[in-house]
């Protein structure tokens, strides 16, 4: 008798490459008059790969981790019943690319607010070659571990105007092992829609010199979450002395989220932290 354990890996919103599959853009947002959008897939590996495409519902935890759910949390709306996509599977030869079309349907049924689901690309593992005896055996039962790599793309539908506001709080700085500068913070969200942007950290010396010492791209806080905790290491090779001065932390929208092509990024929240 043989058991099969499948390991599923859900990618975070910020990273849209898993294994040899590259996907762009990293997220889709339907607002205004948008009715159809495309995802571009590319196989950067040396072998042909097949991916099944489906929609999953995901909860974001306070630390940014994801978990799959079946029912929406209070204040959460699924986008899946308003979406249609094709094809449902793709087979990509090495260096081959293909597009997946995602279409908004029943837009007239949308109530004001935000709706979110995630498109899931699941790799189909190659069958083990005949004569493969790599499975471990114990008491006559063999177990084969088959990694199943997956990546999710958030799809958001926005109906009506956003009244979302973000605050930065609980900012803390420390040196890890006395050599690596590290920052932690919290994003607090109020309003009817999610927020998505980059966190930029600048060091301001006592003489007023400004040096960028860190950036984290694509940090999201999804509805219905009111809090997202985040932390990352800063650049230790900037020649900055973190024993004095202050840090300027900003959370800015991405230019790709702008509604007009010439729009610039917008500061969603900012805060200062005196050092040490």
What confidence score (pLDDT) does residue 265 get?
81
pLDDT at 252 over 70: yes
Task: Tell me if domain 2-159 and domain 165-274 are identical in fold.
Answer: yes
What confidence score (pLDDT) does residue 147 get?
55
Which tens digit of pLDDT belongs to each residue from 102-144? 999 999 999 999 999 999 999 887 655 444 544 445 555 655 5
Which tokens hold the place of 66?
């994801």
What confidence score (pLDDT) does residue 263 get?
58
CATH code for residues 2-159: 2.60.40.10
What confidence score (pLDDT) does residue 12 get?
37
161 CA to centre of own chain = 23
Domain boundaries in the chain?
A: 2-159, 165-274
Mean of all residue pLDDT scores within the chain: 86
* Residues 63, 66, 67, 70, CA torsion sign: positive
What confidence score (pLDDT) does residue 15 get?
34
165-274 belongs to which homologous superfamily?
Immunoglobulins (2.60.40.10)
Query: Which residue shows structure tokens 């974001």?
Result: 60
The predicted model scores a pTM of: 0.82
Stretch 225-250: mean pLDDT, rounded? 94
pLDDT at 186 over 60: yes
CA proximity to 83, closest of 10, 156, 160: 156
Report CA-CA distances (Å) from 234 to 53, 98, 271. Answer: 36, 37, 16
213: three-class secondary structure by DSSP? strand
What confidence score (pLDDT) does residue 239 get?
87
Task: Give Cβ neighbours of residue 30 (< 8 Å, ≥ 6 apart).
Answer: 37, 104, 155, 156, 157, 158
């Amino acid at each position: 008798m043989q058991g099969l354990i499948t390991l599923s890996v859900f990618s975070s919103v910020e990273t849209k490459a898993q294994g040899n599959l590259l996907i762009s853009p990293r997220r889709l947002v339907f607002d205004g008059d948008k009715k159809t959008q495309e995802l571009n897939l590319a196989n950067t590996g040396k072998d042909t790969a097949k991916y099944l495409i489906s929609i999953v519902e995901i909860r974001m935890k306070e630390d940014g981790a994801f978990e799959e759910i079946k029912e929406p949390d209070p204040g959460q709306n699924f986008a899946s019943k308003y979406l249609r996509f094709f094809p449902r599977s793709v087979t990509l030869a090495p260096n081959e690319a293909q597009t997946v079309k995602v279409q908004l349907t029943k837009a007239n049924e949308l109530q004001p607010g935000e709706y979110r689901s995630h498109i899931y690309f699941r790799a189909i593992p190659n069958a083990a070659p005949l004569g493969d005896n790599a499975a471990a055996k114990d008491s006559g039962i063999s177990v084969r571990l088959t990694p199943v790599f997956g990546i999710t793309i958030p799809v958001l539908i926005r109906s009506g105007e956003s009244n979302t506001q973000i605050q930065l709080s609980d900012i803390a700085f420390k040196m890890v092992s006395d050599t690596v500068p590290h920052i932690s913070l919290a994003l607090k969200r109020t309003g009817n829609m999610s927020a998505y942007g980059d966190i930029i950290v600048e060091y301001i010396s006592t003489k007023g010199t400004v040096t960028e010492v860190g950036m984290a791209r694509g940090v999201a806080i999804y509805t219905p979450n009111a809090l997202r905790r985040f932390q990352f290491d800063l650049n230790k090779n900037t020649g900055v002395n973190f024993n004095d001065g202050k840090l300027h932390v900003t959370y800015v929208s991405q230019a790709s989220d702008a509604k007009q092509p010439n729009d610039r990024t917008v500061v969603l929240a900012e805060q200062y932290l005196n050092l040490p």
